Structure 1
Amino acid sequence: MTADGALARIIRAAGRTGPAAGERCELCAAPVPEEHRHLHDSAEDGVRCVCGPCAVLFTDSGAGGGRFRLVPRRRVRLPRIDTAVLGVPVGLVFFVPRADGTVTAQGPSPAGAMRWEVDAAAWRRLADQFPQLASMEPEVEALLVNTVQEFDQHWIVPVDDCFRMVAAIRREWRGLSGGGRVWPVVQEFFAGLTERS
Structure 2
Amino acid sequence: MCAAPVPEPHRHLLDEREAGLLCVCQACALLFERDAAGRGHYVLVPRRRLALPGFVSGALGIPVGLAFFVVQADGRVIAHYPSPIGVTQGEIDKAVWDQAREQCDALGTLRPLVEAVLVNTAKGANEHWIVPIDLCYRLVAVVRKEWTGFSGGSTVWPAISEFFTALAPHGTSIHADAANASARTGT
TM-score (norm 1): 0.82
Equivalent in 29, 45, 69 of residue 55 of structure 1: 29
Corresponding letter in the other structure for 1:168: V
SS in 2 for 1:63: helix
Looking at both structures, which has the greater relative contact order when contacts are Cα pairs under 8 Å and sequence separation is at least 6?
Answer: 2
Where does residue 167 of structure 1 map in the other structure?
141
Unaligned runs of 5+ in 1: 1-26
Corresponding letter in the other structure for 1:91: G
SS in 2 for 1:105: strand
Distance of 2:29 and 2:126 partners within structure 1: 34
Where does residue 46 of structure 1 map in the other structure?
20
Distance of 1:31 and 1:196 partners within structure 2: 31
Where does residue 116 of structure 2 map in the other structure?
142
- Compute the displacement of 1:50 (Å): 0.6
Distance of 1:155 and 1:149 partners within structure 2: 17
TM-score (norm 2): 0.87
Distance of 1:36 and 1:77 partners within structure 2: 22
Cα deviation code 1:131-172 (max 9, x no counterpart): 100011111110001001121011111111110010111011
CA contact (8 A) 2:86 2:144 kept: yes
Where does residue 123 of structure 1 map in the other structure?
97
Distance of 1:95 and 1:80 partners within structure 2: 17
- Compute the displacement of 1:121 (Å): 2.0
SS in 1 for 2:124: coil
- Compute the displacement of 1:59 (Å): 1.2
Distance of 1:149 and 1:139 partners within structure 2: 28
Distance of 2:85 and 2:3 partners within structure 1: 28
| Worse overlay, 75-84 or 151-160 | 75-84
Equivalent in 49, 52, 61 of residue 78 of structure 1: 52
User: Percent of counterpart pairs with the same letter?
Assistant: 52
Unaligned runs of 5+ in 2: 174-187
Q: Which protein shows a greater Rg? A: 1
- Compute the displacement of 1:196 (Å): 4.9
Distance of 2:167 and 2:69 partners within structure 1: 17
Where does residue 99 of structure 1 map in the other structure?
73
